[in-house]
Structure 1
Amino acid sequence: MASYFKQSGAWCARIRVKGHPELSKSAFRTKQDAQAWANVEEGKLRNSGTSQGLGPTKTTLATGLLSYARQVTAYQAGCKQALTKINKYLRAGGMVPLRAAQVAGGREFGLGADGKPDAKLQKVTKPRFELIEQPVSAVFEAKQQSAFATRAAKNEQRDAKVQPLRTCSKSLKHQSQEGEMDELQAGVEPALTVLP
C-alpha cells in the first residue's frame, strides 16, 4: 500500500508491503509522478514473492545464521573460524551444527584487454567450502552423559564424607594476640601496670 504526502514543497511516496522493508522516495514535482513511481515499485515487491526465510518477525537468530552460513560464509576464506561461532548459536537453537569441507572453488579471474587474467576483474563464482550438517552421535552423547553421572556420583561420595578439621601450629606471639582479642571481645580489661 502506498501513501503520498507533501514535504518541504515536494511530493513524497512511501510503500509498505507485508514481508518487505518499507520503501520511500521524495522530491517528486507532482503527485502523479509519485504515484507512478509507487505503482512500479509496489508491483515489483508484490511479484518478487516474500522475503527469504520466515520473514522478519518469525526468523530466529539460529535460522538467520544458518542461512547466512550457507549464502555468505561458504564463500569466505575464514569459513571454518566463522562456523565455530555460528555453531554455538545453532546448538543453542536446537539445530544441527555445520562442518566445512574445502572444495575446488573460489575466485575466477576475468581476462583483461591483453587477454591475460586480471586481478581487478576477479569474481567469486563458486563456494570455497561445502557445508555439511554434523549430527551429534548418540554414542558421544551416551559417553558424555555417563561421564557426567560418574562425576556427580564421586562428588556426592566426597561431600558425604566427614572432613577432618585442619589444625595449624601458631606461634606464641600469635596465640597471645588471640588471647588478648578474646578478652577484649568478652569485655575483660587487661590489667594495667603502674609505672614508677
Structure 2
Amino acid sequence: MIELYTANTPNGVKIPIALEELGLDYQLIKLNLAAGEQKRPAFLALNPNGRIPVIVDLDGPAGQPISVFESGAILLYLAQKSPGLLPEDAFARWRAMEYLFLQVSAVGPMFGQAGWFLRSAAQPIAVAIERYCSEAVRLTGVLEARLSEHPWLAGAEYSLADISHFGWLRVADYAGVELSRFPAVQDWVARISARPAVQRAFARLQ
C-alpha cells in the first residue's frame, strides 16, 4: 500500500495519475494547502521542503517502508517499482527521461512563476511578467515541436514524461499561454484527459 499526500495542483495531480495508470493500491491523503498543512511538523518529517506531493510506500525496498518527495523522483520510483511508464526501448527511455527533467527544471518553475506574477504580486513588475510568460510560451513551443512529430514525448509510448508535463499544460492559461496557438499540445492534453486512469485520479482528488 502506498500513502499519497497531495492536493489538486499542477504538481499534485501527477502522482495519482501515475498510480492509477499503474494500477497500484494507494491511500489518498489530501492536504489543505491554504491552511498550511504542508508546513506542519508531521508533514515536514516526510518532506523538509514542505511541498506536495509525497508518498510513503509501506512495501518499499527489501519490504521496508520508504518515503519519497519531489514529483520527478516519485515518478521515477513508481516507474521502477511497477512497469508501464518507462519505455523498454533504450532510445525512447532516454527521451522520456529528457522530457521528465525538462518539466522539473524548466516548465514547472517557469509556469509557476508566470502564474504567480500574473495574479499575486501586489505591484506587478512588467519585466518579471514578460520574462516568465515569454519563457512559458517558448517552452510550450518546444513541446509543440516534439508533439508535432511524435504522439507522446518519449516517442511512440505514453510515459512518465507525459504525466509530468500534463498537470501544468492542462492549465496553461495560468501562465499566460494560449493553448490554441499550439495545436499538437492541445490535442495531446485532450488525449491524456480522456484516459480512464486520468479521469479516475481527478475523481479522487475532488
Name the TM-score, length of structure 1 as normaliser: 0.24
Instruction: Give the TM-score normalised by structure 2.
Output: 0.23
Structure with the larger strand share? 1
* Greater C-alpha radius of gyration: 1
Q: Which has the higher helix share?
A: 2
Q: Considering Cα pairs closer than 8 Å and 6+ residues apart, tell me whether 1 or 2 has the greater RCO.
A: 2
